[in-house]
A and B are shown apart, each in its own frame.
Chain A
Amino acid sequence: MKSVSPPSTMDSSVLQKSFSLGELLDLESFREVCESYAGLFQIGFKIFDRSRELLVDVKGSGADFCAYLFQLPEGKVRCTREVSIIRDLEISGRDPIYYDCHTGLRYALAPIFHEGDAIGRLLYGPYLPADVSPPDLSYLGERFNPGIASRLLGNVRKVRSDVVFKVIRHLTQTIEVMLFIGYKHVLISRLHVEAVTASYADLQVKNQELAESFRRLKELDRLKSNFLATVSHELRTPLTSVIGYSEMLLERLAGPLTDEQREYIGTIMEKGEQLLGLISSILDFSKIDTGALRLNPTPTNVVEVTRSAVTTVMPMARKLGVTIDFAAEQKTPIIHADTDKIRQVLVNILGNAIKFNRKDGTVFVKVAPISRPSQSARVGEDLPVALIPAMEEFVSIAVADTGVGIPSDKLDRIFDSFYQVDGSSTREYGGTGLGLAITRNLVEVHGGIIEVESKPEKGSTFTVLLPIEPVT
């Protein structure tokens, strides 16, 4: 069989992809963390991703002072220029670098790492360095008010540089842990999808292979049935001649026979007829199997058909010492069915009930109309429940024997073609193992049901249910 490989997801895996800061963090909750961090130290900060996009901007104690300077024309020019300079400063290594702005306030810039990549940067500040005294800001022009400025500057948090260093390290580490967790979650969820997709693709391939082998098996099965039909037909023709010429000999058409000759020819004829019976059943089976069977439905009196089937098997029953007990309800309706096929079914079941009975056993045969709840699975595949009649009417023919019974684990298989409860029964009683398979098929083409119940050592009951409504 041609093997199909599932599509490879080569290089498209989440494991190969790199993520930006914003993709790894839940920005909403990350901003909350940043707010509280800024509140704790009263120092604001900004966070940029690798492409310098501003993700977080939290204000600290320097905000009012900066805002005051920013509304002065000269202040605005200088502040704007400096922020963009600071944002883009080169950082090499892991340690922060520092930048003092024209107001004397200080900023620190630190990289944020993820898996060894500087995936973003933290711009920390402004804060008032403890070791620097604020410069003269009079160059900001006459609108600059040193009084206001120094009052606002007084609110700006003053910090020692070693403290800043520690705070920044702590903050970047916290962010890096959040990134790690975010990355972990992205990997878990996306990889899960990838794994499920891959499994699905595998199953698709397996399904395809199964469908293909199923198709081939069906084709083989069809070929087998055709073969059976041809072979049994080819066997039947010469056999008919064997039987016919034996018959002619027995009728002395070729002259008188000695007793011994008559006996031998009798045996040839009997065995020939047995063989013909077997071949016919194989032919029947293969016809049903290939759908070549045609029903010829006519009004059928099931009670009469059953009676005639009982008559047919009576000699055999007598020979084996088995009694047949026949009972029929008189108001059993006439149904529409192929009378000959129904008779064949009953002869087969009765024959089994006799063959597999104990010596001096009884076969109970009962014909009666019954009604029972519909089995929707059988009645209508896609029909809503409301459209299925609650009860179905059948004529039931029950055939019970008093034999050894059928082991419960074998019960569902006895209708399978060629199945024998154990190989020995074929040798002892003859038969192809096709009888019940044919029987079931014949019942089912009538829209009927065949059921079996069995109690070990008590016997088995085969029940044929034929629908009273005519087959459509």
Chain B
Amino acid sequence: MVQFNLKQREITLKIVYYGPALSGKTTNLQVIHQVLDPDSRGRLMVLDTSDDRTLFFDLMPVFFKTQSGFTVKVKIFTVPGQVMHNSTRRVVLQGADGVVFTADSQKSLSKANKESWRDMANNLKINGLDLNEISMVIQFNKRDLPEVRSDDEIAEVARRGKEPVYKATAIRGKGVMETLEGILRLTWRSLNVKHNLEEKLQVTENEFITGVLKPSDRVGGPSFRQEEGDLR
């Protein structure tokens, strides 16, 4: 739920990456972390499954100041995909303004995608959020692997569904920022309709997008340099 703090002239949005275990949610966040300007994002907090913890999720805040003097914060979370962590997923999903559903493109994982989607729908409902109202994009990740659902098939489901669909190879940084931009725009528009953000904050959609997605001047850290054109 978007949080306004008009006294401190601050607004906080929440974006959640949801999806089955190992679909590449953390990898998305790692890419975003590398691409964005270190001055406009916080540290990446990764609580990963290699530790003996009962709690896994990732968190990274992004922030910028608008020309009108508002601080805009976007907190990006990922949820743990493992079935047993349902309650953590639900807590993390609470109050989300936008959701990226990161699906695994591998054919063998279609069932896992579907189950995760149903689980998400259920958790949204319990959190008082409406699947039909919340801003949502779908990302088909791991396009580099063999035995994935074909481009045609994805184009077809994209045409039929109402959620915008993005293709990504997060491990190479491909499609990650496009997906993020997609969900940010969608979320902004929907919040704008509901809360009249542009007028209240004196910020346009484009200022919001360029503010949040301000790239680092150090773009193309070692692991990204070889894939020019994939990154903004």
Contacts and interface: CB of A to CB of B under 8 A. Distances in A.
Contacts of B39: 94
Interface stretch (B54-62, B160-168, B214-222): B54-62
B90 A15 contact: no
Interface stretch (B25-33, B42-50, B102-110, B139-147): B42-50
A462 B193 CA distance: 78
A141 interface: no
A217 interface: no
Nearest to B88: A195
B92 A15 contact: yes
The size class of the interface chain A forms with chain B is 20 to 34
Nearest to B87: A198
Interface in A1-31: 5-6, 8-11, 13, 15-16
B145 to A, nearest CB: 32
B45 A10 contact: no
Q: Is chain A's interface secondary structure helix, strand, loop, or mixed overall?
A: helix
A91 interface: no
Interface in A189-206: 191-192, 194-196, 198-199, 202
A15 B91 contact: yes
Nearest to B1: A11
B94 interface: yes
Contacts of B210: none
Q: Is chain B's interface secondary structure helix, strand, loop, or mixed overall?
A: mixed
A222 interface: no
Contacts of B43: 180
Contact of B87 (A115, A180, A188, A196): A196
A16 B95 contact: yes
Interface residues of B, number: 33
A180 to B, nearest CB: 5
A116 B87 contact: no
Contact of B126 (A6, A16, A114): A6
A184 interface: yes
Contacts of A114: 42
Contacts of B63: 115-116
B91 A13 contact: yes
Contacts of A56: none
B55 A116 contact: no
A218 to B, nearest CB: 30
A209 B125 CA distance: 19
B47 A188 contact: yes
B172 interface: no
B133 to A, nearest CB: 16
B53 interface: yes
B229 interface: no
A14 to B, nearest CB: 9
B42 A116 contact: yes
Contacts of B59: 15, 187
A183 B47 CA distance: 13
A9 B71 contact: no
B37 to A, nearest CB: 12
B55 A191 contact: yes
A225 B47 CA distance: 57
B174 interface: no
B91 A198 contact: yes
Given A13-B95, A15-B92, A192-B55, A8 B126 contact: yes
A195 B94 contact: no
Interface string A51-65: 000000000000000
Which one of B3, B43, B57, B63 has the highest number of Cβ atoms from chain A below 10 Å of its Cβ? B43
A324 B57 CA distance: 73
B91 A191 contact: yes
A94 B47 CA distance: 28
Which one of A5, A115, A202 has the highest number of Cβ atoms from chain B below 10 Å of its Cβ? A115
Given A180-B43, A180-B45, A192-B55, A116 B91 contact: no
B55 A11 contact: no
B101 interface: no
A8 B127 contact: yes
Nearest to A116: B63
B40 to A, nearest CB: 8
A51 to B, nearest CB: 12
B42 A195 contact: no
Nearest to A50: B8
Interface of B: 1, 3, 39-40, 42-43, 45, 47, 53-55, 57, 59, 61-63, 71, 73, 75, 77, 85-88, 90-92, 94-95, 125-128
8 contacts: A8-B94, A8-B127, A115-B42, A188-B53, A191-B92, A194-B87, A199-B86, A199-B87
Which 10 pairs from chain A and chain B are nearest by CB? A116-B63, A198-B87, A199-B87, A195-B87, A115-B61, A195-B88, A115-B42, A194-B91, A180-B43, A192-B55
